[in-house]
Structure 1
């Protein structure tokens, strides 16, 4: 069943969309902050039901309902409002239901069932949306059950989508987007480019039949990933599910570390992504240190060295990791491997930065070889 949502309150609009998505049985084909915009899109979107707020500027929900009946009398209307006094007028406008704010899921579920009973043939035709995975480790990818890669219309639409995923589930002001993506463009032209880019993103998501909503609530945009997956969020959530870090559970923590397949959007030259990239890298590195320490203190040097090797592959230009390996070999009494690792450190620092190891490391290796 195809649905349009209209409410001039951005948070209320997003909450209604979230609850309907969770209940299921509805394909939300449009969300609007202004009734006029919704009315202009009725013929194109062909909704089966319109969820209407009543108290809205310019054109009220009651006035919009009158025009809807003229455009297509078969469209069901559900009024969603905070005011009980409109109920009688609402049903005078052939409303199928009248839902009071704040909306409770159980009450909204009854409305959905009533709609499905009113048009059972549409309920059976409802297509279950594709569950996609948005991946941002290394580079932006959307996996959506098809062999061909997700197609972006422009490089700018791809980056703007990546930024909205970063800011997911929170409003992002349009002026911030203009300053970030079109800082040197005339204000009017920048707005045109913003609207065009948003349109391109929506069309790409629509073509892939993804239940990811990019909504406009006047001064800002809001991205709702719905029930789709986001690899960064899943990775961080899975850390909270790990057992307490002990020698006997450290292998599970190592698996979590190995699931970090690359720095956040590292293959894209997005300046705004650097803070998030560093945050995630720090989380990974500090946990890797903790896992290696647990194994090292328990006498499992082979396992600790395995973690150091993983750390070096992820962060090949960090002197501290080389030094940790050297200390581990020194504690095992293997001076040959200590000096071999020191030589590798000297070579890496010279090739990459043109500098020798730090003075504390030089002093440590000198004292060890006395």
Structure 2
């Protein structure tokens, strides 16, 4: 493993080089007292890892790390410093590790082991990249070719990732994330929580060998799914490839509807997901009604009723689908089924919301000459 060491103190440089030599498996290809000099030599030396002291004149280790990411984001970074308060910033910059001075050999050994594991995982990823699927229908879960479920370090890291997927391929301001996840937390503490959570998300993805990138651009974060899949996007894209709706192609449209396996993030119940949840429900609902109308127009009444009833099962607390079925029974001249469906609507609304059917529905029932009885 090729390593560059950067520290403005010559004694600290020599000590770190000596300890790495004792651990073994490390080839120190360059030592620099200036971050600028080190960055100038990065391309020529092609290191796997750079150890940066943080507190250096002219260009600090933190600034140097940001520049290094732009030169080659695959190079791992380890910060070495006497000041523990820099740990939070190290998290944000996705450092591989953070070591306090004076450097302890046992602690440095653990860092080298971590670097070796990272290098091996990156080699496997390069040879056989995992194409993961991020699923948000019903609940957030990631399929990534392994039997064990993807593990989230904290509830907050899971929610932050879910939100970044929702906002995929567009910048998300840090203050938005602070307000979303830590609205009642002291500003400074909230930033610490944010940086730590970003670090946890990155480490979880990296440990699973998933190539989804969560990057920092100063005031924003950005999630790049790369070649990985997102079930919501796949489902919406599939709709665009459906043939024109006819009795002959209806099975393909029904297959697409049934690929909707549950409301968007229904199990997580994030408040910010409500608009997206409703949008996707509307997409499903409107297309189901189009299929029902097509069956009716073609004279396939049983098939039309089947899709209406399937819609009611999916949205059992939606008055409008009951009304659609009531109108269907009216068109078929079946007053008994019409009355029964109206009674079911009244019972549902009373039980769930403590209300009666809307005025429009009640007036329509009166126009049908039906007794409301409620």
Match of 1:342 in 2: 342
Q: Deviations over 1:240-298 (max 9, x none)?
A: 00111233322221221111111111111311111111111121212222111111121
Instruction: Tell which structure's C-alpha radius of gyration is larger.
Output: 2
Match of 1:298 in 2: 298
CA 1:261–1:74: 2 relative to 1, 3 Å: closer
Once residues 74 and 348 of structure 1 are traced to their aligned partners in structure 2, the CA distance between those partners, rounded to angstroms, is 68
Match of 2:310 in 1: 310
Match of 1:127 in 2: 127
Q: Secondary structure at the match of 1:342?
A: helix
Q: Secondary structure at the match of 1:291?
A: helix
> Are the equivalent residues in 1 in contact too, given 2:125–2:209 (CA < 8 A)?
no
User: Structure 1 residue 125: deviation in Å?
Assistant: 9.4
Q: Deviations over 1:195-242 (max 9, x none)?
A: 100111011111111111111122211111111110000001001001
| 2:184 matches 1:209 | no
- Within 5 Å, which residues of 2 pair with 1:12-31? none
Match of 1:245 in 2: 245
Aligned length: 272
> Are the equivalent residues in 2 in contact too, given 1:131–1:228 (CA < 8 A)?
yes
Match of 1:282 in 2: 282
Once residues 248 and 175 of structure 1 are traced to their aligned partners in structure 2, the CA distance between those partners, rounded to angstroms, is 52
Match of 1:64 in 2: 39
- Within 5 Å, which residues of 2 pair with 1:70-219? 73=45, 75=47, 126-219=126-219
> Are the equivalent residues in 2 in contact too, given 1:131–1:227 (CA < 8 A)?
yes
User: Structure 1 residue 124: deviation in Å?
Assistant: 10
Once residues 322 and 126 of structure 2 are traced to their aligned partners in structure 1, the CA distance between those partners, rounded to angstroms, is 57
> Are the equivalent residues in 1 in contact too, given 2:136–2:265 (CA < 8 A)?
yes
* Range that drifts further, 243-252 or 216-225: 243-252
Once residues 26 and 279 of structure 2 are traced to their aligned partners in structure 1, the CA distance between those partners, rounded to angstroms, is 43
Task: Return 5+ residue gaps in structure 2 as ranges.
Answer: 3-19, 28-33, 49-70, 72-121
Once residues 215 and 230 of structure 1 are traced to their aligned partners in structure 2, the CA distance between those partners, rounded to angstroms, is 18
User: Structure 1 residue 65: deviation in Å?
Assistant: 3.3
TM-score (normalised: structure 2): 0.66
Q: Secondary structure at the match of 1:221?
A: strand
Once residues 148 and 177 of structure 1 are traced to their aligned partners in structure 2, the CA distance between those partners, rounded to angstroms, is 29
Match of 1:357 in 2: 357
> Are the equivalent residues in 2 in contact too, given 1:47–1:75 (CA < 8 A)?
no
Q: Deviations over 1:130-161 (max 9, x none)?
A: 11110001110101111111100000000000
| RMSD of aligned alpha carbons | 3.0
> Are the equivalent residues in 1 in contact too, given 2:139–2:266 (CA < 8 A)?
yes
Q: Deviations over 1:71-97 (max 9, x none)?
A: xx4649xxxxxxxxxxxxxxxxxxxxx
The structure, 1 or 2, with the larger RCO (C-alpha pairs under 8 Å, 6+ apart) is: 1
Once residues 267 and 344 of structure 1 are traced to their aligned partners in structure 2, the CA distance between those partners, rounded to angstroms, is 27
Once residues 75 and 348 of structure 1 are traced to their aligned partners in structure 2, the CA distance between those partners, rounded to angstroms, is 67
Q: Secondary structure at the match of 2:222?
A: strand
CA 1:346–1:124: 2 relative to 1, 3 Å: closer
